Amino acid sequence: MTGTIEIIDAQVHLNQLTPDWRTAPLDAVLASGIQAMDAVGIDRVLIGEARGFDPKLRQQGQELPNGAIRSDYPFSERAVELYPDRFIYHVRIDFRDPELERLAEEVGHRPGARGMRIVPVPQTGDVDSLQRGEFEPLFAAAERHRVPVFAWVPGRAQLLVPYIRKFPRLQFIIDHCGVGVAPIRIGELPVTMATSLTASLRERFVQLERVCELAQYPNVALKWCHAPGLLSAEEYPYRDLLPLLRKALEAFGPERIMWASDYTVARDQNGNSWAQCLYYLLDSDELSWTEKEWLLGGAVRKALDWARS
């Protein structure tokens, strides 16, 4: 534990932590996760369980007769079973799933499940579907059953505005600062991200300004995730990020901005360590103690209606 500030990482694909994660026993990967969390000073993690994409560029899972993908969460469920005080997770519900109402209702009955996430990949047509309003039944069900929605909408957060207005009681969380994908330092950009590339740092700054305009809607929160790779031109401690974060704080307020590392991706694509992703904020002299409390734990608890036990 780190001081008296509770540290909650609001996105880690923790099931992908070890090099052999596809074949390793769940408990072994989980044990490595606990060890790493303790070493860095992470109290709790919101797991985004992911196993990659299928040949059609859809997140892997059971394919239904109508083409929808239905996911399962064996790693997340095991993590919550063994460490219920340290882990929560989000689910994925395909907007085409014929049982999306049931699936949305069941989220509240799954131990540790605290929301859903959408990842519309342009090549699959899902971004076009989002723009045409075809996610409306999913978001309507999420609002009815109080399931917060994390949304990966890099450089196109404005596509959420009609839904944000139509479903004012639904909590939306914009992933990854809401800006386009940046060129990566390590390896090649995954094909699922290639059509979301915003190569210019300056243009990503402009996109962040547009995202901050969404702060006018009280049901929108921002996930300050991947910021070192997306918005910084410097090495650790990424001091050029703090003026940008300050603008976001002025727009949303600290109670609506949650920190996340997306460590397993930040590590593999940009070489950022988990500690670097955290301590540029935790050790900053440009943030107040109260701001750090919200950013590093309080805001995710508020957005997900996640009370301390």
Q: Tell me the pTM.
A: 0.96
2 located within any domain: no
pLDDT band at 3 (very low <50, low <70, confident <90, very high): low
Q: Could you tell me if 170 and 149 are in contact, meaning their C-beta atoms sit under 8 angstroms apart?
A: yes
Mean per-residue pLDDT of the chain: 96
State the total domains in the chain.
1
Read off the CATH number of the domain in which 299 is found: 3.20.20.140
- What the block records as the tokens of 195 is 């059509």
Amino acid 279: pLDDT: 98
1 located within any domain: no
Domain hosting residue 264, numbered range: 8-303
DSSP per-residue letters across 113-170: EEEEEE---GGGTHHHHHHHTTTHHHHHHHHHTT--EEE--TT-GGGGHHHHHH-TTS
User: Residue 79 in 3-state DSSP?
Assistant: helix
Nearest 5°: the CA angle 101, 107, 112 is: 175
Amino acid 57: pLDDT: 74
3 located within any domain: no
Pairing relationship of beta strands 44-47 and 87-91 according to DSSP bridges: parallel
- For 137-185, write each residue's pLDDT tens digit: 999 999 999 999 999 999 999 999 999 999 999 999 999 999 999 999 9
pLDDT band at 2 (very low <50, low <70, confident <90, very high): very low
What is the DSSP-derived secondary structure letter of residue 215?
Answer: G
- For 258-284, write each residue's pLDDT tens digit: 999 999 999 999 999 999 999 999 999
- For 48-95, write each residue's pLDDT tens digit: 999 988 887 788 899 999 999 999 999 999 999 999 999 999 999 999
